[in-house]
Amino acid sequence: MIKKQWPILAVGLSAVLALGGCAATEAPSQEGGPIKIRIAHNSNAAVLPARIALEQGFFEDEGLDVTFTTVENIATLPPALGKSFDIVQTPPTSLIAANAQGIGMIGIAGATIDIPENPTSGIVTLKSSGITSIEQLEGKTLGVLTETGTLHTAARFWLDKAGVPLDSVKIVQIDGPAQADQLRSGRIDAVETLAPFRGTLLALGDTTDLGDPYLEMAPELGAMMWGAQREWGEANPEALDGFRAALASAIDFIATNDEESRAILMDYTGLSEEIIGKTVLPTFDSALRPQDLEIWLEAMRKVGGFEGDIELDDLIPAAD
C-alpha cells in the first residue's frame, strides 16, 4: 500500500500564522460586550451558513463579533488555532490527523452532509476523453483540491474499491476556481470537485460526472465541519453555543431565502451569477456526527497510510 502522510503541522504554517497575531486562550471581549471570534475558511459552499450568519446579524444576535479570513488550503489551519484563529473550517480527516500529531483540536459543529438525493461532490471528466467510469482512471492524471482532505481520501477509497492501483494515478493539486481551465487545457484527465465548483464544471456542457466519492463510502456522510482548539473551546462554552445557534438560524434562512443566499455565495466565491444560479446547494446540517469519524478513520488507514493512535470519542466532546 502506498503510504500517504498527513503533513498539517508544517505545510504553509508560517503563511497562515502571518495572517494574525498570537492570542490568549480566552476569547477577546470587552466587559459586557460581544465575544470576538476569528474564523478561517475556504471558498466552498459549505461555508455559506457562516457567511449568512454574519451578513444577517445572527452572530451579533448571539453576542459574537466575528471576522473571517479566507485560506483555500484548509489543511494548514489546525496549527493556527489559538494563534491566528479561534474557529476553522476543517474536514474530519484534518481533525483526526491534528490530534494524532498532538494538536488539541475538537469538532464544534457540522457543516454539510452528502446524501443520494443531493450529491455535492464528484469526479468530473471531459466527454471527449472517453472516460465514463472510475475504472478508466488507471494511468490517468487526476486534479485534486488537496491531498489531505476528505474528497481525495474518498476518491482514493473509491479507486481502490474499483481495483485501480493507487500509484497508477498521477495527482496534480489545483484550486477550485482553476479546475475548469485545467481540465479543458488537457493538463488533467479528471478532477475531484465539490460545490460550487462542481456546478461550474457541469455547466460547461461537455463534461461527465463519474459520481460522488463520498457516497461510495456510506449512504450518508458528513465531509466538512468546524473545529476549535480544545483549550479555547473549554474556556469559551458561550461562544461555541452562540456559534452553533447562529449557524442553525442561517440554515433556516437559506431554506426560505434562496436568491439572497446565492448572492452571498457569489460574493465570497467570486463566481459568476450564471454559475451560482446553476449550483446545487449542499445539504446543510450543523449537527455533529460522531458516527462519521469512524468511517473516515477507517478510510485514512486503508488508503491513506494513516497509522496514528486516536480516541475518536475525545474529538467531539460537544456531542455528549
Give the residue extent of every domain in the chain.
13-115+220-319, 121-216
Measured at the alpha carbon of residue 107, what is the angle toward residues 31 and 303, in degrees to the nearest 5? 155
Q: Which residues contact 132 (CB under 8 A, 6 or more apart)?
A: 125, 208, 210
Sheet holding 170-173, edge to edge: 170-173, 141-144, 190-194, 121-126, 207-209
What CATH class is the domain 121-216? alpha beta
pTM for this one?
0.84
pLDDT at 175: 87
Please report which residue ranges of the chain form alpha helices under DSSP H: 13-17, 48-55, 58-61, 92-100, 150-161, 179-185, 197-202, 230-235, 237-256, 258-269, 273-278, 290-303
* Higher-pLDDT residue of 160, 146: 160
Rounded average pLDDT over 69-78 = 90
Residue 302 C-alpha cell reads as 486503508
Report d(CA 106, CA 197) in Å as an integer.
28
Kindly report, residue by residue over 125-144, the tens digit of the pLDDT: 999 999 999 999 999 999 99
* CA 94 vs CA 35, 104, 139, 296: distances in Å: 26, 12, 28, 10
CATH number assigned to the domain covering 13-115+220-319 = 3.40.190.10
The pLDDT of residue 266 is above 70? yes
The pLDDT of residue 97 is above 70? yes
Confidence category of residue 31, pLDDT binned at 50, 70, 90: low
Residue 35 CB-density burial (10 A; 0-12 exposed, 13-18 middle, 19+ buried): buried
Q: Which of 195-199, 220-224, 313-317 has the lowest mean pLDDT?
A: 195-199
Q: What is the dihedral of CA 116, 248, 83, 296, to 10 degrees?
A: -20
pLDDT above 90: percentage of residues in the chain: 74
